[in-house]
Amino acid sequence: MDSQSNYIKLSEWQSQFPSPGTPLYKVFLDDPECQKTAQELTSSGMLEITELREGLFVKACSYVGHVRLGNIEITVQPHINRHY
């Protein structure tokens, strides 16, 4: 992974695949501490982070907040239904 930060903004239950042109394309968790944190987040059901051949897949669950894994910053915002 290069030194450039990758910013990911998701709503609850939204996911992002590592497609060409996305911030997760060809991005991997090289640091063991980041890998451990990603595994803990996934195991807890807070945030799903999976390394695929093309890069990282990230899926938000019902938790909102901000997490940094090395050069990757993920923000999960509340999904608010604006249609009353």
Query: Given pLDDT bands bounded at 50, 70 and 90, which one contains residue 84?
Result: low
User: Which pair of structure tokens corresponds to residue 1?
Assistant: 């992974």
Kindly report, residue by residue over 8-44, the tens digit of the pLDDT: 999 999 999 999 999 999 999 999 999 999 999 999 9
The model's pTM: 0.86
Kindly report, residue by residue over 37-68, the tens digit of the pLDDT: 999 999 999 999 999 999 999 999 999 999 99
